A and B are shown apart, each in its own frame.
Chain A
Amino acid sequence: MRVVWLELRDFRSYDAVSLEPGPGVNVFIGDNGAGKTNLLEAIGYLSALRSFRGAPDAALIRDGASGAVIRGGIERASGEVRVEIEIPAEGRRRILVNGKRPRRHGDVAAGIPMVAFLPDDLDLVKRGPAQRRDYLDDLGARLSPSVGANLVEFEKALRQRNTLLRREGPAADLLALEAWDERVATAGARVVEDRLDLIEQLRPVLGAAHSRAGGGSGIEVRYASAWAGAGVVAGGANRRLPALTDSLREALSARRVRDLEQRTTTAGPHRDEPIVELDGRSSRSQASQGEQRTIALSLRLAAYDLLAAHHDTAPVLLLDDVLSELDPTRAAAVLELLPRGQVFVTTARDDDVAAVGWRWTRSGHDASWQSDDAGGTG
């Protein structure tokens, strides 16, 4: 799996850029504002179809331009995939995969494995449950298109129910609300089922990644839910779905008065909390900054390992200015991955990337990205 070519037009700071990255490690060297992260963001967009910085599409368009274009060719075992994305300043974006509109956007993320390590990954551990839910949901959708489809369906049903509550409040049509309860319950149960399945797959992989990153053996992931009791969550994979659906339906109905007053859905998968524990302590509130850093890194390493095993090929690895922040042990755990597949690294200094690879700097009269190591010996 590798990106063979990339073309950008009016994307962020670029008016036009085209690039043929090497098959191994590609190091982009430049000062702040040189546009290194913008490149990685564009590569990430080819697969996730959104910015890994969480930026809205409008922010990706170069100031004053009528729209941004990202095009790329990705080589897979089954042949080259060409992904083309047009983001107009007005109107809907257009996505073409091999010249055709993909049936579902989730199919793209599930078909082109990529993992990004970002400077603010510490938020995965430090901040609220939303970061960890997104981590699970994003990784799940990359492992199976049905996970992505289940999420889209749940979010749609939840948005509809919340709109009904917000607009009508206590005056809402009760039969309609009950119908939304049922639809939210079936869709929501599938989402939680997917998350629990993923946590089971993640456990051994995360344990191993945590040791590699210099952490101990006591890492554990738990799923805390105010509406699904521990018994339901622990149920066997096949019996769990009906129990989850029943629990969520009951919770929605039990909280009806509160939901009508607060005009929003106060319980459900969107309020659940995946918890990473270290020796039985919550890593969010009771771990040191160093321990949190190791856990955050392990979560990314584990995502890489799961995707690599699932696709039987190394995912494309994006490292945005993360190596310089890591101590030698943690950096070594990341550097281990470099020889396995294609990697894009950004760094401000030439000397802190130990890997040998294609070194890209901006030069020439048009300040385009040029590589000085066409051999790509990395």
Chain B
Amino acid sequence: MFEPPVQRLIDELARLPGIGRKSAQRLAFHLLHVEEADAVRLGDAIVAMRREVRLCIRCFNVTADEQCSICRDTRRDPSVVCVVERAQDIPVLERTQEFAGRYHVLGGAISPIEGIGPDQLRMQELVRRMDDEGIEEVIAATNPTVEGDTTALYLARLLKPLGVRVTRLASGLPVGGDLDYADEITLGRALAGRKEL
């Protein structure tokens, strides 16, 4: 046990994902030894983020306004929506500069073990958007995990009856890499999903 103010910070830090007791201690003592202004800036940043940021009313991306910058952008194609599990997946897809539609953040993937069913995700919000926005294609960009795949399959069953095209991101080889560096599983799936040239 450390002095209560130090211990309190260690306990809080240790609750963060990916941070164990040891890392929490190291971070706390680091913050104890840096310039006070640096530590205060970190605290302010956390408080400001929580006070100023909220979820986009349309797609549930994080935003400082009512709608996120992507939903507000009139040049984006409103007929295609890319469905992701978490808001942090959006910048990753944006960096590709290959996608000009909008997004929808589900808030996770279907996982009965974790008690997450369709009702715990933003599925109904997505269904409502189909009509409201005249969406023609939904791209399921959930993670290539058992749960992400199943969520994509669920989306297909949910939305196809509404006349919406549902597609899934392909899995395959990393571009620009050597074939012999690819792991067998990825390579195996890439082989199974091969395309006619």
Judge whether B146 and A176 touch: CB under 8 Å: no
Which residues of A lie under 8 Å from residue B151 when comparing CB positions? 179
Total chain A interface residues with beta-carbon distance under 8 A: 25
Most chain A CB within 10 A, of B151, B154, B157, is at B154
**Chain A residues in 8 Å Cβ range of B174:** none
Q: Are A146 and B184 in contact (CB-based, < 8 A)?
A: yes
Q: Which of B3-11, B48-56, B58-66, B112-120 binds A?
A: B112-120
A175 touches B154 (CB 8 A): yes
Contact among B146, B183, B184, B188 with A183 in the assembled complex (CB-CB below 8 Å): B146
Contacting residue for A160 out of B112, B119, B154, B188, CB 8 A: B112
Q: Does A157 interact with chain B (Cβ within 8 Å)?
A: yes
- Number of B residues, CB within 8 Å of A: 21
In the bound complex, residues from chain B placing their C-beta under 8 Å from that of A146 are 184-185, 188
In the complex, chain B residues whose CB is within 8 Å of the CB of A178 = 153-154, 157
Flag if B111 contacts A183 (CB, 8 Å).
no
Would you call B149 an interface residue if the criterion is a C-beta within 8 Å of the partner chain's C-beta atoms? yes
Are A163 and B113 in contact (CB-based, < 8 A)? Answer: yes
Chain B contacts of A159 at CB under 8 A?
113
- Which residue on B lies nearest to A167, using beta carbons? B112
B143 close to chain A: CB less than 8 A: no
A277-317 contacts to B (CB < 8 Å): none
B136 at the interface (CB under 8 A from A): no
- How many A-B pairs have beta carbons closer than 8 Å: the answer is 61
Residue A149 CB within 8 A of the other chain: yes
Provide the bound-state CA to CA distance between A321 and B158, in Å. Answer: 58
Q: Is A100 an interface residue (CB 8 A)?
A: no
Given contacts A144-B184, A145-B185, A156-B146, contact A179 B157 (CB under 8 A): yes
Give bound CA distance, A43 to B153, whole Å: 43
Q: Are B183 and A160 in contact (CB under 8 A)?
A: no
Contacts A145-B184, A146-B188: A160 and B147 contacting too (C-beta < 8 A)?
yes
Q: Please, what's the 1-or-0 string for B154-197, where 1 marks a CB less than 8 Å from any CB in chain A?
A: 10011000000000000000000000000111001000000000
In the bound complex, residues from chain A placing their C-beta under 8 Å from that of B110 are: 176, 179
Q: Tell which of A104, A153, A167, A179 has the most Cβ of chain B within 10 Å.
A: A179
The answer to whether B150 touches A179, judged by C-beta atoms less than 8 angstroms apart, is yes
1/0 contact string of A162-198 vs chain B (CB within 8 Å): 0110011000010110111011000100000000000
New A-B pairs, 14, CB < 8 Å, besides A176-B154, A178-B153, A178-B154: A104-B185, A145-B185, A149-B184, A157-B146, A160-B111, A160-B112, A160-B113, A161-B112, A163-B112, A167-B115, A175-B154, A175-B158, A179-B110, A183-B150
Complex A-B: 5 CB contacts under 8 Å: A104-B183, A164-B112, A175-B154, A183-B149, A187-B146
Binding site for A on B (CB under 8 A): 110-113, 115, 117-119, 146-147, 149-151, 153-154, 157-158, 183-185, 188
Q: Which residues of A contact B (CB under 8 A)?
A: 103-104, 144-146, 149, 153, 156-157, 159-161, 163-164, 167-168, 173, 175-176, 178-180, 182-183, 187
